[in-house]
Amino acid sequence: MTVGSQVKSCYASIKSIESALESLHETTRNTELQSAIEQANILLEEVKNDMNNQVIKLTKEEPQYKS
């Protein structure tokens, strides 16, 4: 698996985790848990954006990483 593939796979995993957390946030009534999920989603959004930027950078700079 190339570095580009690994980065893309990690990005997809982050999106999946984000979706699962959003679903949990909607179904829980525990305000403490909701707050923790909101904080986690903020961090995940930052990581997701960084990963997406890496995918773009790898694709531009390293043609062998294109899928």
The tens-digit pLDDT sequence of the chain (67 residues) is 778 788 889 989 999 999 999 999 999 999 999 999 999 999 999 999 999 898 888 888 766 655 5
Residue 32 belongs to domain spanning: 3-62
Per the structure, how many domains does the chain have?
Answer: 1
- In this structure, is residue 67 part of a structural domain? no
Alpha-carbon distance 31 to 9, whole Å? 32
Give the residue ranges of DSSP H helices in the chain. Answer: 3-27, 31-61
For residue 58, count CB atoms less than 10 angstroms from its CB and return exposed for 0-12, middle for 13-18, buried for 19 or more. Answer: buried
Question: What is the per-residue pLDDT for 5?
Answer: 82
- In this structure, is residue 7 part of a structural domain? yes
Max alpha carbon distance in the chain (Å)? 48
Question: What is the per-residue pLDDT for 67?
Answer: 55
What is the pTM assigned to this prediction? 0.75
- Tell me how far the alpha carbon of residue 29 is from its chain's centroid: 25
